[in-house]
Chains A and B, each alone.
Chain A
Amino acid sequence: MKILLLLAWRQLVRQRLQSALTLLGIALGVAVVVAVDLANESSSRALERTLDALTGTATHHIVGPPRGFDEALYLRLRLQGVRASAPVVEGFIRIGGETWRLLGIDPLAESRFRPQVESTDEGALRRLMVEPGSVLAPPRGARHADAEGRMVAEAGGRTEVLRLAGTYRSNAGIDDLLLADIATAQTLLDRVGRLDRIDLQLSASQVEEVAAMLPPGLHVEEAEARRGHTEQLARAFQINLRAMSLLALLVGAFLVYNTVAFGVIRHRELLGTLRAVGATPHQVVMLVMGQALLMGTLGTVLGVLGGLVLGDVLLALVTRTINDLYFVLSVREVTVAPGSLLLGGGMGVAVTLLAAGIPAREAARVAPLTVQRRSHLERRTGRGALIGAVVGAPLILIGLLLPQLAERSLLAGFVALGLIMIGAGALVPLLVAGIGAIGSRVVRGVLGRRAVRGLSAGLSRSGIAVAALAIAVSATVGVTVMVDSFRVSVADWLEAILVGDVYVAPPGTVSSRVDGTLDPSVVERFRALPGVAAVRGTRRVEVMAESGPVSLLAVEAVSHTRDRFTLLAGEPESAWQAFRAGEAVFASEPLAFHRRIEPGDRIELMTDRGMREFPVAAIYRDYGSEAGVVAMGMSIYRQLWDDPDHSSLVLYAAPGVPTDTLLANARAAAAELSQTLEVRSNEAIRSVSLAIFDRTFTVTRVLRLLTVLVAAVGIFGALSAMQIERAREHALLRSLGVTPGGLFLLVGLETALLGLVAGLVAIPLGVVTAEVLIDVINRRAFGWSMDLVVPPAVPLEALTLAVGSALAAGIYPAWRMARTPPALALREE
């Protein structure tokens, strides 16, 4: 056995290039899986920590209208004995270019609510209370303060100077909150006289009692429900990331399988010899498995290390996307989750062993002499290709049917995607054989025929390599088509909604969200602006629906507004009439999807007059919020909510007034106001929105790149091994008079053919993947529909990518083949 191990080791060392490539392949596959998992884990933990800090030990919250409610309620509750209660004013401010969540609290009411945070500075609390504008910051936030402890902050469009009262430390890892006394928070966040919520600790029996004390428009909400809602938002995004990592895992697994299996096949003569000299089948299996285990372990360790580094990069991208879309969150370091390392590591070792196990068993089972014979192997592989097809076709079928069976399940979508890919991969060897068989009849010319025949003749080697390449390329195609389709749909949608010329809003703290307010006087100011034909105000707030918070968009129902809504369901004429009359609302597509709303259904919303029911007249397209939006006319909003403010204004240029002139006028007007406002043209908004869109998919792009890289490394490994393997055959050709150039051409042609087959398989497979990503995964994760758009360049790109990476991988072996003197190659026999 010792000899066997020594043999295995020597073999690895002798074939340095092969070994290195196998290692690299395993390591890359593992690294991608580990990195995505770490980034996901770290961001969810940070989200959880922040939610913990925000929720504290509260069991319930009293929440109300968008701009908060009268602070007098708090005293009333306290006097009526609801003593486990704490007032909260919450919002966002910007310091040093970073958005911070500001939590305004009453320190004296807090002790039982937020035990995770405590200040270490003596007297910090007193300063917090008696020095207006003072805040408690985590150490990293304290860096923004000057020597006197002053920090410049932007709050609600105003510039304020804050004072650092002290730093806090948190045993729960919270470092993205600023704490302030409630008086400071009310002032900074423009909430004087109002509270955003009251945190409560209630037993089940007290809930009704407290609810009965509340004025209309306010209600008691379970802390878990509120929290769950936020987590759910980020989860959809994380699931998509995980899908990408699973794709990487799939490709990585194919690759590992390919390299390892190929290595075993390559050494079948050695194995045969060993059997011939008396090694038992068991010993042979042990030899192969031991070698695989060694490679698998080494590659996995490298992969885990690489994953840690890569995870850091991905985390930054993931966090940025979460901040863009969902929630202000800071994640500064990767939380090393043992689960992530185990997942990646386990995958690496397991797939390696699986990949080695099947050929090893086969090699061990065959009679010593047969195993050395190539023709037998290829025959067996030919049968394998048939089996692959028999297994693969039903897999694809199940994959296509599954999403229909499990109608709303996101998991089913992923499983379907996996099945389709694996099924297609299994079909590839037969396809290669078929193309080889047909090709050899059609193609003329010695080299051409040889090259085509080489395809099916070397099926044991080429089959899996082509399958891996095809899957990698199809994943790339699928993701590209999905992202492009998405982008086209978003651009169309932006085109439709950006009907005004100039947009005015307070600077947003979360880029995709407007959460500031414009007071009515500001509106008047812009209405009087020269060159303005019309001013339309919109109000975007969060209100409670029976099934949790929902965004509400109130728009002035003037004639332009109509173009703003692309109706997907509902009878346009009557829907629009009902909307304008204030008799009905529209639901955005994600809302309709998540809450199963159809035109004609009713949605209940908490108004300042209590719960009200609204008929839903139509479903409209909206990529702005995946949580969903209810749109209603401004007049009905003003009737039911005591909120005279606007979130943003749309200015329409008078006939003959260029947008630039209006923009300049509006900017000049905004500069005179005390509130900082962002005044932008519709073009600027469009480009900013698309920039955020692109940023969101940066992480996808990075993963896509990694997937192709993994596949290319695999192809390179497989092809170079294959060509080295065929040294004797090629030497024979040389000795028969084929020139080195001719041989180079032959090998190149063979390789290109492999790439071509992979590319041809990848195009339809990629489009199907895109279709699944769009219609199943995205729809189920976000509720968005979009039209499949296959850019004309995609098929060409797929072929180029497949042939290109195959050629790139084939050049070195081809060159080596051409260079080797035939005698030397023959002598190796």
Chain B
Amino acid sequence: MTAMQGRKRVGARWCLPGFLLALAVLAGCGAPEPPSDSGVNVAEALGQAEAEGFARATDPRRFRFPADHGPHPAFRNEWWYLTGNLEGTGGRRFGFQVTFFRIGLSAEPVESPSAWAANAVWMAHFALTDAHGKRFHAFERFARDAVGLAGAQAEPLAVWLEEWRLTGTEDGLPWRLEMAEEGIGLNLSLEPQKPPVLQGDAGLSQKSAEPGNASYYYSIPRLAARGTVTSNGETIPVTGLAWLDREWSTSALGPDQVGWDWFALQFDDGSDLMLYRLRRRDGATDPHSAGSFITPEGGKRALAAGDFELEPVEMWESPRGGRYPVAWRLRLPALGLELVIRPLLRDQELELTVRYWEGAVDVHGTRGGRPVQGRGYVELTGYAE
């Protein structure tokens, strides 16, 4: 579950990110402001490609790895979503988010002698939270799936937009994530600590009652991260934990959701928790909200909307407009979990073509009466005004 999917969930039309901005505005997807440099193209609605011709997620499928780490161009949308908490020498804390979105423009290849012809475009987001320096940086890029500007392949894994890239070695692991822009950088090796977790029904994540309105969704909830962060002119060695979300689909959803709250938490006892709450226009929680609890051994327990209670405990007013609940109380009676989630920084809002909040958090609480703590990432969409 990601920001992008959240955006998709709201509005009469799909709210595709980036250069689909104009549409996104119309659909009220967090009502982002047009970026000041909106020009011939970016401010223009690219328009939604017809679902016709693209594959749909209708039945559970067999996932094969490492092939499924690579692209699924038969589906209209797909993303690679990495978040993580890192620690440098002296306990200096960082958070990062890296997302590669593939957006299919046409199910068919474009017939042209030109190498520039592309039936898909890519958008990537890169955000770094420097808790010590109290700074948050966010960057965005677009490129077409052509002439080597952006693309993805399975073996060895490569997902890239220009020099931003996630790559595997010849043997597969570890993966390397290299991101840099305007003096902010990230260079990490990523080693999965748990096997992929298939979300929803064996990887089929149903978004509404209608068949096909679903995605294929898996996560790697725990990757050991090691490398460097560059911030403020300094390059700092770091270690930490990352989370990978992968999703692909060709779905179209109902008009009644306005946004959502997504949580990916990693506890110090080795267990992990993912859950999302879809917010309806009337403020209620959508019944398709869901989640999963992953044991240290990698076992999964599915969570339904009724299994958890979320309560904001602190609101943060964005200087760019909108109020975000940035701290939460979370109760999962079935697991005996009672948690308080607090952000590393209040302002972890990405002011990009679509504005949303995605930030590193700390978690404290109890599990069955015993103290438990952890770190994680929270994504909040639909609050921007």
Contacts and interface: CB of A to CB of B under 8 A. Distances in A.
Interface in A112-155: 112-115, 117-119, 122-127, 129-132
A187 B117 CA distance: 10
B45 A122 contact: yes
Contacts of A124: 44-45, 47
B319 interface: no
B39 A108 contact: no
Contacts of B38: 111, 115, 118
Contacts of A131: 110
Contacts of B143: 108-109
Interface in A61-77: 71-72, 74-75
B149 A123 contact: no
Interface string B43-66: 111111100000000000000000
A186 to B, nearest CB: 4
A129 B118 contact: yes
Contact of B149 (A75, A125, A129, A187): A75
Contact of B106 (A118, A130, A168): A130
B89 interface: no
A455 interface: no
A804 B37 CA distance: 66
Contacts of A109: 143
Interface stretch (A175-183, A379-387, A460-468, A558-566): A175-183
A125 B118 contact: no
B307 to A, nearest CB: 40
Contacts of B147: 71-72, 74-75
Given A71-B115, A130-B110, A118 B39 contact: yes
Contacts of A78: 149, 162-163
Contacts of B44: 107, 118-119, 124-125
A73 B26 CA distance: 38
Interface string B114-129: 1111110100000000
Given A112-B37, A115-B37, A182 B121 contact: no
A81 B139 CA distance: 14
B142 interface: yes
B40 A132 contact: no
A105 interface: yes
Contact of B23 (A83, A106, A122, A130): A122
A130 B105 contact: yes
B42 interface: yes
A636 interface: no
Contacts of B42: 107-108, 110-111
Contact of B116 (A79, A114, A183): A183
Given A71-B115, A75-B149, A125 B45 contact: yes
Contacts of B121: 108, 129
A168 B23 CA distance: 17
B40 A105 contact: yes
Contact of A183 (B35, B45, B49, B112): B112
Contact of B112 (A79, A118, A132, A193): A132
B116 A182 contact: yes
A229 to B, nearest CB: 25
B148 A132 contact: no
A112 B43 CA distance: 11
Contacts, number: 130
A143 to B, nearest CB: 21
B170 interface: no
B269 interface: no
B148 A75 contact: yes
Given A81-B163, A130-B106, A108 B144 contact: yes
A790 interface: no
Interface in A165-204: 168, 179, 181-184, 186-187, 192-193
Contacts of A122: 22-23, 45, 47
Nearest to B123: A108
Nearest to A107: B41
Question: Which of B47, B114, B162 has the largest count of A CB atoms less than 10 A from its CB?
Answer: B114
Given A106-B144, A108-B143, A113-B39, A187 B114 contact: yes
Interface string B10-50: 00000000010011000000000001011111111111110
A79 B162 contact: yes
Interface in B76-129: 105-106, 110-119, 121
A204 to B, nearest CB: 19
Contact of A123 (B46, B110, B116, B117): B46
Nearest to A127: B47
Contacts of A117: 39-40
A385 B340 CA distance: 105
Interface string B145-162: 011110000000000001
A182 B39 contact: no
B144 A129 contact: yes
Interface string A89-119: 0000000000000000111111111110111
Contact of B113 (A72, A130, A192): A192
Most buried by A among B19, B23, B40: B40
Most buried by B among A112, A123, A132, A187: A123
Contacts of A71: 115-116, 147
Contacts of A118: 38-40, 43-44
Given A118-B44, A125-B44, A184-B112, A111 B149 contact: no
A130 B119 contact: yes
Could you say which of B115, B116, B142 has the most chain A C-beta atoms within 10 Å of its C-beta?
B116
A122 B146 CA distance: 23
A105 B41 CA distance: 10
A232 to B, nearest CB: 28
A125 B111 CA distance: 17
Contacts of B115: 71, 183, 192-193
A179 B45 CA distance: 16
A110 B23 contact: no
A106 B40 contact: no
A4 B5 CA distance: 87
A129 B114 CA distance: 12
Nearest to A71: B147
Contacts of A126: 46-47, 49, 105-106
A771 B145 CA distance: 63
Contacts of A115: 37-40
A352 B113 CA distance: 68
Interface string A493-534: 000000000000000000000000000000000000000000
Contacts of B22: 122
A474 B147 CA distance: 65
Nearest to A104: B116
Contacts of A130: 49, 105-106, 110, 119
B230 to A, nearest CB: 14
Nearest to A119: B44
A711 to B, nearest CB: 52
A127 B105 CA distance: 9
Given A129-B144, A130-B105, A130-B110, A111 B39 contact: yes
Given A78-B149, A127-B47, A107 B113 contact: no
B41 A111 contact: yes
A264 B119 CA distance: 81
Contacts of B116: 71, 106, 181-183, 186
B19 A114 contact: no
A79 B46 CA distance: 26
A129 B116 CA distance: 9
Given A108-B121, A129-B110, A123 B47 contact: yes
**6 closest Cβ pairs, A-B complex:** A123-B47, A107-B41, A183-B114, A111-B42, A183-B116, A130-B106
6 contacts: A78-B163, A108-B41, A109-B143, A119-B44, A126-B47, A127-B47
Given A105-B40, A125-B44, A181-B116, 18 more contacts: A75-B148, A78-B163, A79-B162, A81-B163, A108-B142, A111-B40, A111-B41, A112-B37, A118-B44, A125-B41, A126-B47, A126-B49, A130-B105, A130-B110, A131-B110, A183-B110, A183-B115, A183-B118
